Amino acid sequence: FSGGEKVRLALATIAWLKPNLLLLDEPTNHLDLDMRQALNVALQEFEGAIIIISHDRYLLNNTVNEFYAINKGRLSLFDGDLKDYEKQVQNGYAQTAAQEDPSDDRTDRRAQRQQAAARRLQLAPLKKQINSLEQNMDKVSGRLVKIEELLLDGYLYEEENRARLKDLLQEQGALKGQLEELEETWLELSEQYQEL
């Protein structure tokens, strides 16, 4: 499979599952122009929530109604569109360059590094748990995708494969429940991590 074919298959699987939340990371990578347009239309018609991380301005301008910006490690709602953001970034760089004082105090920087190191030590166990959960979610999601690919094959629906179909559907149900639990735990730990 090419990259574009894999993306199309993943998008078809998502459409078949009918989720109420989409998390998309650079969804237009590997897509040709026709597929980009089809994705654009599908996202505009999607009735659930969508979180998109993308550099595709056309996609963002046509599908997103709220923008969030990450600045100095903090996520905040951005009041405006991409053009407003571009202006703010350009103005921000100009102001930052003008405000920087070359005579920064070395002791301040050393204290900041020590505080950052202490914070990393404090957060390390929680971060390790979050990483472990993410790996488990990836494994479960990967297996779900494989099951969904198998379920798209017509041979499973023949009489002699009924037991295999039943097993796959049961496994799919169990994995969806497991994934939901993992995601809930991940959200709780991520919130704790952000609060610290």
Residue 172 is predicted with a pLDDT of 93
In a domain, 85, yes or no: no
Domain range for 128: 102-196
Q: How large is the average pLDDT for residues 173-190?
A: 90
In a domain, 196, yes or no: yes
Q: How large is the average pLDDT for residues 92-116?
A: 62
Residue 89 confidence (pLDDT) above 90: no
In a domain, 66, yes or no: no
Residue 133 confidence (pLDDT) above 70: yes
φ, ψ dihedrals at 71, nearest 5°:
-135, 120
Query: Which tens digits make up the pLDDT trace of 151-169?
Result: 888 888 889 999 999 999 9
Distance CA 186, CA 129 (A): 9
Among 42, 21, 44, 22, which residue's Cα sits nearest to residue 31?
42
Distance CA 57, CA 81 (A): 10
Q: Say which residue, 159 or 16, is predicted with more confidence.
A: 159
In a domain, 115, yes or no: yes
Query: Which tens digits make up the pLDDT trace of 20-63?
Result: 888 888 888 877 788 888 888 888 888 888 899 888 888 888 88
C-alpha dist (Å) from residue 124 to 54, 84, 171, 193: 29, 37, 34, 10
Number of domains present in the structure of the chain = 1
In a domain, 187, yes or no: yes
Please, what is the average pLDDT of the chain?
Answer: 81
Task: Output DSSP code: residue 152.
Answer: T
Distance CA 47, CA 19 (A): 10
Report residue 17's pLDDT band, with 50, 70 and 90 as the boundaries.
confident
In a domain, 67, yes or no: no
Residue 181 is predicted with a pLDDT of 92
In a domain, 160, yes or no: yes
In a domain, 128, yes or no: yes
Question: Which of 12-16, 155-159, 174-178 holds the top average pLDDT?
Answer: 174-178
Q: How large is the average pLDDT for residues 93-104?
A: 49
Residue 94 is predicted with a pLDDT of 47
